[in-house]
Amino acid sequence: MFRGQEDRTPHLAGAGGIAEVERGRSSILGVDVYSPVRLFADGVAACLDAQHDTRAVACHDVQSLGAELESGRADMVLVDVTDRRGLEQGRALIHAFPHVKAIALALPEAAEDVIACADAGFVSYVPRNACVEDMCDVLRRALRDEVFCDPKVSGGLLRELRRRQAMSAPAGEPGDELTRREREVLRLLGRRMSNKEIARQLCLSTATVKNHVHAILTKLNVHARSEALARLQADPMIGDCSFARR
């Protein structure tokens, strides 16, 4: 997929610096800019090339981009993701060239887009409404393995992280989700008490006790009171209120 050649654009004079500031020494930062839109790639590369310590190359197809990355001259690659295909193209080149820092270019600054960007393997992103100075700041931060996010995006990332952790968490043992009241009812079931007797003991209505019994059977994944009693006999801890879910 990544084959071909792309000539480097001439280095332009510029006042700002990216690599020199971050690395504390004179060093040329190689940046490849990929976009199927030639004018966009050329324009972004020219802005970066104007930095006196940065050399940027515009690539307009994946073949020329692959050739540039294979040359080993690039430290970073900016990938135009205004088209959703850009994310998949970025994923492929990140897999092929894991040593190159890949940055999503012109990404909508919404949590779902940033999450998709991270899932594809990008280390950072340049927001769609960023100016040249903002773009240079993104590159500087990427050299330090840093990413700046809008507070709303950060909140979305944390929510997604919690969601994924919850999905990957091992399922609890049957009975772990019983409430304190359900455990009390289960213990009384273990004494062979009827719903009416349990209701009098706990000062509840018979209908409420029936609801608790139904919830107990569901959470224990059993179908009859006798099965619930068997579970209680095998594991008395499920009737212990000390382990009840609040």
- pLDDT at residue 231 in the model: 86
Set out the domains of the chain in order of their start, with CATH numbers.
19-150 (3.40.50.2300), 180-243 (1.10.10.10)
- The CA distance from 33 to 69, in Å, is 11
Burial classification of residue 242, based on how many CB atoms lie within 10 Å of its CB (0-12 exposed, 13-18 middle, 19 or more buried): exposed
pLDDT band at 70 (very low <50, low <70, confident <90, very high): very high
Average pLDDT, the chain: 85
> Could you tell me if 181 and 193 are in contact, meaning their C-beta atoms sit under 8 angstroms apart?
no
Q: What is the pLDDT of residue 4?
A: 39
Q: Tokens 């001439």 identify what position?
A: 10
Mean pLDDT of 102-123: 94
| Helices 38-49 + 132-143 axis angle, to 10 | 70
Report the pLDDT value the prediction gives residue 174, as an integer from 0 to 100.
Answer: 55
Region of poorest pLDDT, from 6-10, 16-20, 29-33, 37-41: 6-10
**In this predicted model, which residue has the larger pLDDT, 162 or 80?**
80
**What tens digit of pLDDT does each residue of 120-172 get?**
999 999 999 999 999 999 999 999 999 999 999 999 898 888 888 777 655 55
The span from the CA of 127 to the CA of 201, in Å, is 64
Report pLDDT digits (tens) over 182-208: 999 999 998 999 999 999 999 999 999
How would DSSP label each residue in 168-236?
HSPPPPTTTT-BHHHHHHHHHHTTT--HHHHHHHHT--HHHHHHHHHHHHHHTT-SSHHHHHHHHHH-G
**Identity of residue 218:** T
Host H or E run for residue 59: strand 54-59
In the structure, what pLDDT confidence band is assigned to residue 54 with cuts at 50, 70 and 90?
A: very high
Residue 139 corresponds to which amino acid?
Answer: L
